[in-house]
Amino acid sequence: MPQENRIRKLPKTVADKIAAGEVVDRPLSVVKELLENSIDAEAASIVIEIKNGGKSYIRVTDDGCGISKEDLFLAFERHATSKIRTENDLFRIHSLGFRGEALASITAVSKVEIITKTVRSKVGSRLQLEGGILSEEGDTGCPDGTTIIVTDLFYNTPARLKFMKKDATESSLIIDFVSKMALAYPNIRIRMINNGSTLFSTQGKGSIPANLMTLYSREISERLIQISDRQGDYEIEAYLSPVDLSKINRKHQVYFINGRQINSHLLDQAVSEAYKERLSEGRYPVAYLFLNVAPERLDVNIHPNKREVRFDQNEEVKSFLVTALKHGLSTEQSFTTMSVKSSFRSPKLDSKPPQSHQVDIKTLLSTKRAEQANAEMDMAPLVIYEKNDPYEFPPNIEPELPRKELLPDIRILGALFGTYLMGTDDSNFYLIDQHAAHERVFYERLLSQFNSSDKLSQGILTPFVAEVSPANMDRSGEWTLTLEAMGYVLEEFGARSLIIKEIPGFMSLEEAKSFLLDFIDQIDESNTTISQKTLDKIIMNSCKSAIKGNDRLDEREIDQLLFDLAQTNNPFSCPHGRPTFIKLSKYEIERMFKRV
């Protein structure tokens, strides 16, 4: 904070240049603004406390510079700030705030109490406002710094009150945001309290890696590759995952530019380019990027919530990043090509579920078939079905029949690109996507477990631990039941992890781990209560990640796979609607070569 930190009302000409917008639309925005103010006040220690997802109570306490008694009332006026003074300042912003709008907007829609004291003054001052109107003021004894308590958010704006989501949803957004800020400000001790219990507390010792360990999974953090580089006006510090540690979405790509958490397509592209050809499609690295840019090269005044920024030279930034990240990755030894050995377990464990279970699956799947039909037809121009509509599969077909009909005695000729099995019978050629096939088998077994009252679990020799973000742990009750229904046996293990003691009977340990970790990641991502539809999607996606890698199957495994596929209710496509196999008749091939 500059020496001269008096608060002034911005001249109208400057105020008009500011990208305006509703700053306060949910509890998260209050926490964001208050936390940013504390950081701008050069606090060494900040405590954020919320209750009921921040709807009823938000308190942010810091030991920063405080606000002098003379300025205190002004701080709550619109366009009153100590951070910029002239229009030119807008082009070199060093602080997180600059619009002088936040406190005004927050007080307008809630009840606010502020207690603050600067080092220079002997006593602190206290203000209380309700809906923007001053209700109490006075002196008070208090330590240096500022405490702001916001209660009953939106009590006077019923429309917005209604718009707020469930407590757990609002709190998980806040916890996620604060965790990331805590990460990026390693010199500040940041403590997060939710409904009376401390979720995390960083040490303030200046180490991002230490904070990664505190805030995120230790297992992941330990493996991240640290990269630092600088060139001209750009400086980057990054933490990247080795290729064998990828995720199913970009959720673990977190970007800070000059201390601001931002979303950036440009940075997404830079990360993707740095990993190009190292990761299979649909997999994303973990990437925490902390980029610093000379303030005059960056416009932060383009977005109401400042979640986006504009560089003056996009290409320059991108190429700086790609080069830096690539270089860092290529000097890292730990890169290995991913290879996950598939393991089909003994037929006994894999034994076909009883008929009654199959009926359950059918009911479940039937709702999906209509959607899949379209997807499949679009995606698989080469699939030639002998039946008009593969989804009209007779439900009461004899179990042994499908294999005979669909995949008769196929001789496997080999594998193509490590993924497609080539096969033939007397009059057809088949290409079977072994991953899609495996996914279908896996998915149906999972559903059958899920719907069965009699779970088939297998104990594992060494229980494993899955780390869960603080935000997600807070509502683990909502989703651990689902995992249990699949046959996982798990318990809470400390404040931020689950210990897995048993896994579903039909999964290998590797599959069970990948499935579970991706499942948790996705739950993490869905900020609302998880509907059945979301859950279905999450299960399908997690199946995909359980079945990955360039598996080389031996003859017995191929046989087993084809057999298992034929037993499924919908052998034609994977759960995502991609075809499991393509069949070309001899006639079709001859026609292609213009022989007939």
Residues that bind Mg ion (CB under 5 A): 37, 97, 102
81 binds ligand ADP (CB under 6 A): yes
Angstrom distance (rounded) from CA 140 to CA 119: 14
Report the residue count for the chain: 596
| Nearest to 110, CA basis, from 50, 26, 12, 189 | 26
Identify residue 119 by its one-letter amino acid code: V
Stretch that binds ligand ADP, among 101-109, 334-342, 462-470, 530-538 (CB under 6 A): 101-109
Angstrom distance (rounded) from CA 32 to CA 152: 17
- Binding residue for ligand ADP (CB under 6 A) from 10, 27, 54, 101? 101
Compose the 128-147 pattern: x for residues touching ligand ADP by CB under 6 A, - for all others. Answer: ------------------x-
Where helices occur in 452-508 by DSSP H, the ranges are 470-473, 476-486
- How many residues bind ligand ADP (CB under 6 A)? The answer is 25
Give least dist CB 77 to ligand ADP, A.
9
Q: Which is nearer to ligand ADP, 127 or 274 (CB)?
A: 127
The interface partner of residue 66, options being ligand ADP, Mg ion, none and the CB cut-off 5 to 8 Å by kind, is ligand ADP
29 binds ligand ADP (CB under 6 A): no
37 binds ligand ADP (CB under 6 A): yes
Helix (H, G, I), strand (E, B) or coil at 297: helix
- Binding residue for ligand ADP (CB under 6 A) from 27, 53, 54, 64? 64
Using alpha carbons only, how large is the chain's radius of gyration in Å? 29
| Nearest to 507, CA basis, from 451, 456, 573 | 456
| Nearest to 483, CA basis, from 512, 441, 524, 454 | 512
75 binds ligand ADP (CB under 6 A): yes
Where helices occur in 462-570 by DSSP H, the ranges are 470-473, 476-486, 509-525, 532-546, 555-567
Instruction: Identify whether the C-beta of residue 140 lies closer than 8 Å to the C-beta of residue 125.
Output: yes
Q: Which is nearer to ligand ADP, 146 or 522 (CB)?
A: 146
The interface partner of residue 291, options being Mg ion, ligand ADP, none and the CB cut-off 5 to 8 Å by kind, is none
β-bridge pairing 581-585 and 411-416: unpaired
Give least dist CB 187 to Mg ion, A.
19
Give least dist CB 10 to ligand ADP, A.
9
* Token output for 187: 């010199």
Angstrom distance (rounded) from CA 25 to CA 162: 11
444 binds ligand ADP (CB under 6 A): no
Give least dist CB 256 to Mg ion, A.
17
The interface partner of residue 289, options being ligand ADP, Mg ion, none and the CB cut-off 5 to 8 Å by kind, is none
100 binds ligand ADP (CB under 6 A): yes
Q: Which is nearer to Mg ion, 92 or 341 (CB)?
A: 92
Give least dist CB 63 to Mg ion, A.
17
Instruction: Identify whether the C-beta of residue 13 lies closer than 8 Å to the C-beta of residue 39.
Output: no
User: Which residue carries 């191929």 as its tokens?
Assistant: 558
Angstrom distance (rounded) from CA 198 to CA 214: 13
The interface partner of residue 118, options being ligand ADP, Mg ion, none and the CB cut-off 5 to 8 Å by kind, is none
65 binds ligand ADP (CB under 6 A): yes
66 binds ligand ADP (CB under 6 A): yes
Give least dist CB 91 to Mg ion, A.
19
Stretch that binds ligand ADP, among 97-105, 260-268, 377-385, 432-440 (CB under 6 A): 97-105
Q: Which is nearer to ligand ADP, 306 or 475 (CB)?
A: 306
Contacts with ligand ADP in 103-122 (CB under 6 A)?
103-104
Instruction: Identify whether the C-beta of residue 330 lies closer than 8 Å to the C-beta of residue 324.
Output: no
149 binds ligand ADP (CB under 6 A): no
* Token output for 159: 């429309």
Angstrom distance (rounded) from CA 221 to CA 241: 9
User: Which residue carries 């079945």 as its tokens?
Assistant: 547
Give least dist CB 315 to ligand ADP, A.
31
Give least dist CB 298 to Mg ion, A.
18
Give least dist CB 202 to ligand ADP, A.
18
99 binds ligand ADP (CB under 6 A): yes
Give kind and range of the element (H or E) at residue 504: strand 497-504
CB closest to ligand ADP, residue no: 97
Give least dist CB 265 to Mg ion, A.
26
Angstrom distance (rounded) from CA 52 to CA 551: 48
Bridge partners of 197?
194
Angstrom distance (rounded) from CA 318 to CA 224: 21
The interface partner of residue 98, options being ligand ADP, Mg ion, none and the CB cut-off 5 to 8 Å by kind, is ligand ADP
Angstrom distance (rounded) from CA 57 to CA 148: 11
124 binds ligand ADP (CB under 6 A): no
Give least dist CB 73 to ligand ADP, A.
11
* Token output for 116: 């603050």
Helix (H, G, I), strand (E, B) or coil at 219: helix
Q: Which residues bind ligand ADP (CB under 6 A)?
A: 5, 7, 33, 37-38, 41, 62, 64-67, 75, 80-83, 97-104, 146
